[in-house]
Amino acid sequence: MTVIETLKDFFILLQEEDTEKLLSIFVGEPVIDTPMEGRITGREEFIAFVDRQHQWLKGHDVGQQFVEITASVQRVCVELLLYLQHDTRSMDLPVAIVADLDGDKKVSAIRIYHSMWPLTGRHRVREPLLKPAEGLEEPDFVKQYMQALGSGDAAIIVNLFEDDGYAREPSS
């Protein structure tokens, strides 16, 4: 199984509790950062993470649909749509899995992205991965987007995107 195939099946492998297959893609000690759990480092923490995620996914009757892959020499991003049961309702949760690659096509770190809003009713802000670059200025459309996001103004957000753009949730 290649790294990309493993990333495409990441949540399936968590559901199956296939720790060894998940560990096999890492170049060294596993490093993963998730919206639910934050940063997980090392084999023992990763094994415990797989167990917790297995239980959570099983308890939420999760299914998945593959959406897209974007890949470069340094990084792979796999987009998925998870279907799950949460608080007696069905929902879909867009997820991105980003893996940093080393020269041997193995993974040095994984970051998982999805909104916590549908699951908890609030956002979870994680620590930044990169140090801020000095002397850069955000383009106006980014400033407008962030201001609209902060005030929960979906109409402004939608107007910043192409005609088929949309906002999934408010921010508070």
Domain boundaries, the chain: 3-133, 137-171
Q: Which of 47, 53, 48, 38 is nearest to 129 (CA)?
A: 38
CATH class, 3-133 region = alpha beta
Residues 100 and 147: their CA atoms lie apart, in Å, by 31
Instruction: Indicate the pTM of the whole model.
Output: 0.78
Q: Is the predicted pLDDT of residue 32 greater than 70, yes or no? A: yes
Q: Which residue has the higher pLDDT, 4 or 163?
A: 4
Q: What's the mean pLDDT when you consider all of the chain?
A: 90
User: How much is the average pLDDT of 59-80?
Assistant: 94
